[in-house]
Structure 1
Amino acid sequence: MTGVHFNYLATGCFFLAVLHTLLSSFPFHVGKSLIDYALQKRNDTKAYARWSYFWGVLLRLGGEVEIIFGLWLTVLLVLLAVQLGWDKALEKLELKKEYPEALFVTLLMIISSTQPILNTFKKLIGLFAQKGKESVGRWWFWILTLGPLCGSFITEASAMTLSALLLGRKFFCLNPKPALAYGTIGLLFFNVSIGGTLTNFAAPPVVLVAHKWQWGSLYLLTHFGIMFVLGMVLSNLAYYYFFKKEFQRLELERETLKAESEEAVVFISREETPLWIVGLNFAFLMVAVGIREHFMLMLGELVFFLAFVEATKDYQGEVPWLKACLVGFFLASLQIFGNLQSWWVSRFLNSLSDVALYLSSILLSSLNDNALISSMATVIVPELDEPKKRAIIAGALSGGGLTIIANAPNLAGLSLLRDFFPDGLSSTKLFKVAILPTVFVSILFLVKELFLKQMEKFFG
């Protein structure tokens, strides 16, 4: 097989995986219906019910976003193995390499889901949400504002995990109408994608280019952070006032619930967690950030953290081990596929103007993990000028909320909130609600860049 044929085959499987992901709610819904039907009819037609259940499970698995890219990667691996042999197929797909980013997100998702860290984060948000009259709307706004901004310090994966868990306990548990539910998860994905730009060491798309392009935290703050924070806050306010009547309904719903039952949902235990346990949980989190590029060290920390959680399980709460592992599997599969797309992505971006480069970066980020677009940017042209660099990274960050696969932590948020979308998450509805803040921030960015160009011309 020639290199050209391999590129076409890999890209074909990649776009089939993307299409499968965008349509994942259909097989998920059909499989769920078959399973429900089989359970109802199992006493009448036993054999038929078993087959309905069997195909229902397969279809539902086919609609699980976490495994879709792994399924199509398996298809590609089998096709290559038949033509090239097993070893060459593994070498072509770089399956013998380690993928620390996938393990890193898995590890952060596990650590951030523990009760000590979640409760600490809840108290921090509560300082703002409970100032004045506490309400569903205030919790919603501050979780979607402060939560993503924490991604600039504790990484996007942790910010997504904490924000999703708190939204589940403070908002989604009240059964909001679908329009607001989709608006919320769209804002969550978008805000987390742009919320890591206050520093140069937390968001993966930024980390991959910051050192090579010599972008310090002050540069990120002035060129991206301030603008993105403004866009985030204004987008949250716009959605809040648009759904104001629904928030009022949810507030009435919340007030009918007993305070004891609400707290029982949020906390597994009312006993105060000892400070030394809280401190060690945060220490594990900080160590994970420090060793994020070392696969074996992270694997070792995961083993030690599992032992620590088992020894202190009365204070740790329910930890989503399986969901975290599935998210890691998804990210590894997406990264492998994404690396195989550099042959056409680099050509596509190479000769575009600044505005076209920005818009193209948004589009490509919706089809790939935005960190991959950022990584490719460092090798497209040896010497990109600053406006083009900013256009690529801003586009990658701005497009990180348009689809489930656009930003690595998105799937972590979906996994934690999946139960509130029993029919699966519609990719079309997600795109519709996420495009509005994306367009708004895009206008802010383009106006800011135009202003900078005019200032450069004015001062010579």
Structure 2
Amino acid sequence: MNPTPIEIVATVLFAVAVLHTFAAKKIESLAHHYPEGSIRENLFHFLGEVEVIFGLWAGVFIILYSFLSGFTIYDNHHHLMAGAVYYLESLNYTEPVFVFVIMCMAGTRPVILFAEKLILMVAKMIPLSEKTSFYISALVLGPLLGSFITEPAAMTVTALILLDYFYSNKGMSSRFKYATLGLLFVNISVGGTLTHFAAPPVLMVAGKWHWGMGHMMSHFGYKAALAIVLCTLAAAFIFKNELKGKLEIKQGHDNILKPTWWITLIHLFFLALVVYTSHHMVFFLGLFLFFLGFIAVTGEYQDEPKLKESLLVGFFLAGLVTLGDQQAWWLQSVLKSLGDLPLFLGATGLTAITDNAALTYLGSLVELSDSAKYNLVAGAVAGGGLTVIANAPNPAGYGILKDAFPGGISPLGLIAGAIGPTIVVCLFFQLLP
């Protein structure tokens, strides 16, 4: 390993950003020591926003990059430009932009109400109490839909439904909220493995390794589906007292205009087109602009688009891309040195402090055996629920649900909620044929 000064700086800042993530709740609490509306109060609120952290430290990195690489260089076409600009243009920001767009689109009233109807329909087939059946249906069907509508869309829809029907209920304990959050993150992470195009860590390697839908279903999909069902049933049993009784219909559902069938159909059509063109940023951004025009025209049937929340999540992921690209110098060496089981366990652990898509991408640059490929991806998706940075859709769920936790979401609370489902998924991936 011979890292460059820029790589060392990026790794130090990446570590600082990870530590900042764990300290965000404490930093947020400092804001209460200052007068409301003051600059210092607003500053600590800002520094305590998890979605801001990686973008903020990526900005620091870009400033330092400019000093280290020079303020002016020539690119391949002999155009004079800033070194940091050249670096930024060498990165691929398609995924952060896609998550921003899909989160906005999936969070609209027609899409949410359509998903609720599907979940209610499945819930009626489960011979348990109304509330328990809906809980199980949402946490099984929502994540599995991620294999077809992509994980970020599934996370947005499922998190919004959980917010409306469970997290908004003041009677739900903090233990229930953290356990459900951890379960949601783990289920979403593995729920996209039924196909080769929906889960970011799979998407990074599927083309190079020639993994199609058949391969994903036979090696990952059925194991993930069984683990999701088992973990969700276990959570429903553990919290059976809190899930007793009838489902409380979301407040406000009775006094809003229900979208017509054709409005819902057009939303789903736009959603499908964006998913289909998810690798072509220019095209799906154009579609998104047309979509914004459509929801403006049908405003009576819409809620306010979640632009700010979605932009913050996109900013988080863009910061992760900017800093994560410079971690290859140590990550690749670690991946190459591990055997199959250590690789699986190492990938599960490393995913908690790095984005799992970045982890599998770096693994794809190394010559690996078929069993090593399986263990790398299996570990990456298994550990995708442990932290907010572990899986690209997690910041979307975090942003939607964070206000339901007094004082914000505790990183240790999230790990505690996710560790049980993570262990179950690990066992299924290792023990099932």
- Scaled by the length of structure 2, the TM-score of the pair is 0.93
Q: Which residue of 2 aligns with 1:22?
A: 22
CA distance in 2 between counterparts of 1:397 and 1:407 reads 8
Q: What is the CA distance between 1:96 and its match in structure 2?
A: 5.9
Gap change, CA 1:340 and 1:267, over 3 Å in 2? farther
Deviations 1:266-310 (CA, angstroms, capped at 9, x unpaired): 4661x4422221111111101111221122222212211111110
Secondary structure in 1 matching 2:88: coil
Deviations 1:119-145 (CA, angstroms, capped at 9, x unpaired): 111110001223456522221111111
Deviations 1:64-99 (CA, angstroms, capped at 9, x unpaired): 011101111121122222343334541574356451
> Which of these residues, 83, 93, 96, is aligned with residue 99 of structure 1?
93
Contact 1:105 1:409 in 2 (8 A): yes
Contact 1:29 1:424 in 2 (8 A): no
Q: What is the CA distance between 1:436 and its match in structure 2?
A: 1.1
Secondary structure in 2 matching 1:187: helix
Secondary structure in 1 matching 2:380: helix
Q: Which residue of 1 aligns with 2:344?
A: 358
> Which of these residues, 263, 275, 280, is aligned with residue 294 of structure 1?
280
Bigger-Rg structure (1/2): 1
CA distance in 1 between counterparts of 2:253 and 2:157 reads 13
Contact 2:119 2:138 in 1 (8 A): yes
> Which of these residues, 83, 101, 108, is aligned with residue 102 of structure 2?
108
Gap change, CA 1:86 and 1:313, over 3 Å in 2? farther
Alignment pair present for 1:73 and 2:58: yes
CA distance in 2 between counterparts of 1:155 and 1:112 reads 11
Output aligned runs, 1:354-433, within 5 Å: 354-381=340-367, 384-433=368-417
Alignment pair present for 1:243 and 2:235: no
Q: What is the CA distance between 1:386 and its match in structure 2?
A: 1.3
Contact 2:165 2:250 in 1 (8 A): no
CA distance in 1 between counterparts of 2:290 and 2:354 reads 33
Structure 2: stretches of 5+ with no match in the other structure = 73-81
Which residue identity is paired with 1:345? L
CA distance in 1 between counterparts of 2:90 and 2:207 reads 27
Alignment pair present for 1:156 and 2:155: no
Contact 2:6 2:68 in 1 (8 A): no
Q: Which residue of 1 aligns with 2:44?
A: 59
Contact 2:91 2:322 in 1 (8 A): no
CA distance in 1 between counterparts of 2:232 and 2:410 reads 21
Q: Which residue of 2 aligns with 1:258?
A: none
Output aligned runs, 1:149-298, within 5 Å: 149-175=144-170, 176-248=172-244, 251=245, 262-266=249-253, 269=256, 271-298=257-284
Which residue identity is paired with 1:13? L
Secondary structure in 2 matching 1:195: helix
RMSD: 1.9
CA distance in 2 between counterparts of 1:325 and 1:141 reads 30
Alignment pair present for 1:146 and 2:141: yes
- Scaled by the length of structure 1, the TM-score of the pair is 0.87
Q: Which residue of 2 aligns with 1:437?
A: 421
Secondary structure in 2 matching 1:367: coil
Contact 2:3 2:329 in 1 (8 A): no
Q: What is the CA distance between 1:110 and its match in structure 2?
A: 0.7
Secondary structure in 1 matching 2:278: coil
Gap change, CA 1:148 and 1:408, over 3 Å in 2? same
Contact 2:99 2:314 in 1 (8 A): yes
Q: Which residue of 1 aligns with 2:77?
A: none
CA distance in 2 between counterparts of 1:208 and 1:326 reads 23
Q: What is the CA distance between 1:427 and its match in structure 2?
A: 0.3
Contact 1:189 1:410 in 2 (8 A): yes
CA distance in 1 between counterparts of 2:255 and 2:320 reads 35
Q: What is the CA distance between 1:61 and its match in structure 2?
A: 0.7
Q: Which residue of 1 aligns with 2:79?
A: none
Gap change, CA 1:400 and 1:210, over 3 Å in 2? same
Contact 1:197 1:206 in 2 (8 A): yes
CA distance in 1 between counterparts of 2:429 and 2:311 reads 36
**Mean alpha-carbon deviation: is it higher for 397-406 or for 19-28?**
19-28
Which residue identity is paired with 1:438? T
> Which of these residues, 305, 308, 323, is aligned with residue 337 of structure 1?
323
Gap change, CA 1:226 and 1:61, over 3 Å in 2? same
Deviations 1:313-348 (CA, angstroms, capped at 9, x unpaired): 111223211000111111111011111101110000
Q: Which residue of 2 aligns with 1:119?
A: 113
Alignment pair present for 1:8 and 2:8: yes
**By percentage of residues, which structure has more helix?**
1
Structure 1: stretches of 5+ with no match in the other structure = 40-49, 256-261, 453-460
Which residue identity is paired with 2:59? T
Q: Which residue of 2 aligns with 1:455?
A: none
Gap change, CA 1:26 and 1:273, over 3 Å in 2? same
Contact 1:98 1:295 in 2 (8 A): no
Q: Which residue of 2 aligns with 1:457?
A: none
Identity of aligned residues (%): 37
**Mean alpha-carbon deviation: is it higher for 345-354 or for 90-99?**
90-99
CA distance in 2 between counterparts of 1:73 and 1:210 reads 28
Deviations 1:423-456 (CA, angstroms, capped at 9, x unpaired): 01100111111111111211222223xxx5xxxx
Moved over 6 A (4+): none
Q: What is the CA distance between 1:24 and its match in structure 2?
A: 1.1
Deviations 1:340-372 (CA, angstroms, capped at 9, x unpaired): 101110000102110000011111111111111
CA distance in 2 between counterparts of 1:362 and 1:172 reads 28
Gap change, CA 1:264 and 1:244, over 3 Å in 2? closer
**Mean alpha-carbon deviation: is it higher for 104-113 or for 296-305?**
296-305
CA distance in 1 between counterparts of 2:308 and 2:411 reads 23
Which residue identity is paired with 2:96? A
